[in-house]
Structure 1
Amino acid sequence: MKGEDHMMTIAPNQTTVGFIGLGVMGHSMAGHIRKAGYPLHVYTRTASKAERLVADGAVWHDTPAKLAQACDVIITMVGYPKDVEELYLEPDGLVAHAREGAYLIDMTTSSPLLARRIYEAASSKGLHAMDAPVSGGDVGAREARLSIMIGGEEGDVKAVQPLLSTMGSNIVHQGQAGAGQHTKMCNQIAIASNMIGVCEAMAYAESARLDPETVLKSIESGAAGSWSLSNLAPRMIAGNLEPGFYIKHFIKDMGIALESAKAMNLVTPGLSLAESLYSQLAEKGLEDKGTQALIRYYTGE
């Protein structure tokens, strides 16, 4: 199915948007959609997470199927590929219950192969499906500055661009279904090794009896600069391990990337090392902390 077929106008006050998954990032993303003037319908497994949005005017549904029947566009931001598969492909899921011509946008970091399956199932029902994972963490979600990587039909991507612009500032169509997820794997692979470098730099500064904050002033604007260095190293220094992005979800992402790399006969030693280190932290009970908690591997706390 080509994106140009049965295209609707995606605009505030004209398009009803459903949002499923109101976690650390999803809540902020859904809030931006509501503030932009789109009628917002929400569902999340933990109903209390929706209370603030409902108080601000969002409509609550107690099942994804009921939400699907009420919406022109449905966005999902959940935890794991198994959650995505159940949400979209089960008999009581979105593909089975969405309105004909509806747009389905999965913003979860998930499997590229699953994204293809969802696209094909949706297309057979007259639905427009896209995979659109994001990068930018809790800060990017709060400030509507997410990087959004999209796989799907070009016409579909153009149609939902105004809606995606309420959540992100860097929106790039990467190719056909699954291409968004593959691009997110590139993003996570780059972060994985970079986080090791950031933690080792901060640990080295401490061992050399330097002031880490002063070191950061020198190195974050030079060749060593990165988003992780500027945004997560200060949290490490302050001892703030609360999640902008959960370790357990990063381990999930690295697992998807390792599996995909293996299928392409690509060796990724940096990714393998990072996955091993984070898995050790999870075994010590830190799976619900933020990715900056990798510093604990070096400090031994």
Structure 2
Amino acid sequence: MSSTTIGFIGTGVMGKSMARSLMHSGYLLNVYTRTKSKAQELLNEGATWKNTVSELAASSDVIITIVGYPNDVEEVYFGQEGILENAKAGTYIIDMTTSNPQLAQKIYEQAKGRNLYALDAPVSGGDIGARDGKLTIMIGGDQTAYEEMLPIFKVLGENIILQGPAGAGQHTKMSNQITIASNMIGVCEAIMYAKKAGLNPERVLDSITTGAAGSFSLSKLGPRMIKGDYEPGFYVKHFIKDMKIALESAKDMGLKTPGLELSLSLYTELAEKGEEDSGTQALIKLFSE
């Protein structure tokens, strides 16, 4: 049983499963989220509710955040009531939100000035990876802080890699999202092609998921598309946010990303049709029309 108290902010689709895994591994858990009812399951299982970010920060040894958007990250980290002002010296702060690399660097710099250890550690693997403790975790920050937090990361994921200094985790996640962006279009087109050709699309997936076309999106989200299951493992609205961050970063580096631009335009169209709270696999709806 660990005596480390982890403060957890954000209990959405992935955060709730991640927090639960930490509790089941013996960590004491403080929880704060804007809507208390979203944390109720965790509170029933033994987590301690904190009324504010500042209260959680002051009473935790490690603070993990996984919130929606970069402005949510800014809200919980900065200001009089934020994590940076209220965490005890020596606290480790880990932002696992997919956010802006420059914001990760800003948190790191301000944390350093307050004797806090900051890591940016966005994840990939969706609701399934979070539930099974098999997330891919991409980390930016100092080697020593990474090594100290490794036991916690090992509860949450399997593929855990320190990619470089502050912001490197977020840049790696952008590479991840850029890959998925074009891939999701390919998965939708492949399934619709199979249907138009009079094939059984599930049987087609049995063949192509294990070949050169294999990917998480094809093997995990393809079957959901075929079944018409659009429940979010990852929200359309959050994927749009990620693609916008990636596009902005790519433009800053003078990089052309036509696949990313096409995917963003299609997902924006999907969101405008009322699908922003659906899972990313709902993209197939545009191809089924």
Normalising by structure 2, what TM-score? 0.99
- Write the mapping of 1:81-160 to structure 2, written as runs, cut at 5 A: 81-160=70-149
Q: 1:190 aligns with which of 179, 200, 206?
A: 179
- The residue type equivalent to 1:289 in the other structure is S
- The residue type equivalent to 2:244 in the other structure is G
- 1:230 matched to 2:219? The reply is yes
- 1:173 matched to 2:162? The reply is yes
- Write the mapping of 1:258-269 to structure 2, written as runs, cut at 5 A: 258-269=247-258
Query: Offset at 1:86?
Result: 1.1
- Write the mapping of 1:250-265 to structure 2, written as runs, cut at 5 A: 250-265=239-254
| Structure with greater helix share of residues | 2
- 1:199 matched to 2:192? The reply is no
1:208-232, Cα deviation, whole Å (9 max, x unpaired): 1111011111111011111100000
Residue number in structure 2 paired with 1:13: 2
**SS of the residue aligned with 2:274?**
coil
Residue number in structure 2 paired with 1:294: 283
Residue number in structure 1 paired with 2:151: 162
Aligned equivalents of 2:98 and 2:144: distance in 1? Answer: 22
- The residue type equivalent to 1:130 in the other structure is L
Query: Offset at 1:180?
Result: 0.1
**SS of the residue aligned with 2:155?**
coil
- The residue type equivalent to 1:56 in the other structure is E
Query: Offset at 1:51?
Result: 1.1
Aligned equivalents of 1:87 and 1:120: distance in 2? Answer: 16
Q: 1:78 aligns with which of 52, 57, 67?
A: 67
- 1:209 matched to 2:193? The reply is no
1:222-244, Cα deviation, whole Å (9 max, x unpaired): 11111100000000000000100
- 1:22 matched to 2:20? The reply is no
Moved over 4 A (4+): none
- The residue type equivalent to 1:223 in the other structure is A
Query: Offset at 1:50?
Result: 1.1
Query: Offset at 1:89?
Result: 1.2
Bigger shift: residues 242-251 or 86-95? 86-95
Residue number in structure 2 paired with 1:69: 58
Query: Offset at 1:25?
Result: 0.2
- The residue type equivalent to 2:216 in the other structure is W
Aligned equivalents of 1:44 and 1:92: distance in 2? Answer: 14
Query: Offset at 1:257?
Result: 0.1
- The residue type equivalent to 1:89 in the other structure is F
**SS of the residue aligned with 1:174?**
strand
- The residue type equivalent to 1:186 in the other structure is S
Residue number in structure 1 paired with 2:235: 246
Query: Offset at 1:55?
Result: 1.2
- The residue type equivalent to 1:145 in the other structure is K
Identity, % of aligned positions:
61
RMSD after superposition:
0.6
Aligned equivalents of 2:223 and 2:79: distance in 1? Answer: 43
Residue number in structure 2 paired with 1:6: none
Aligned equivalents of 1:281 and 1:16: distance in 2? Answer: 41
- The residue type equivalent to 1:256 in the other structure is I
Gaps of 5+ in 2: none
- The residue type equivalent to 2:78 in the other structure is L
**SS of the residue aligned with 1:165?**
helix
Q: 1:274 aligns with which of 263, 267, 285?
A: 263
Residue number in structure 2 paired with 1:9: none
**SS of the residue aligned with 2:217?**
helix
Normalising by structure 1, what TM-score? 0.95
**SS of the residue aligned with 1:166?**
helix
Aligned equivalents of 2:256 and 2:42: distance in 1? Answer: 44
- The residue type equivalent to 1:99 in the other structure is K
- The residue type equivalent to 1:85 in the other structure is E
- The residue type equivalent to 2:256 in the other structure is V
User: How many positions carry a matched residue from both structures?
Assistant: 289
Gaps of 5+ in 1: 1-11
Residue number in structure 2 paired with 1:43: 32
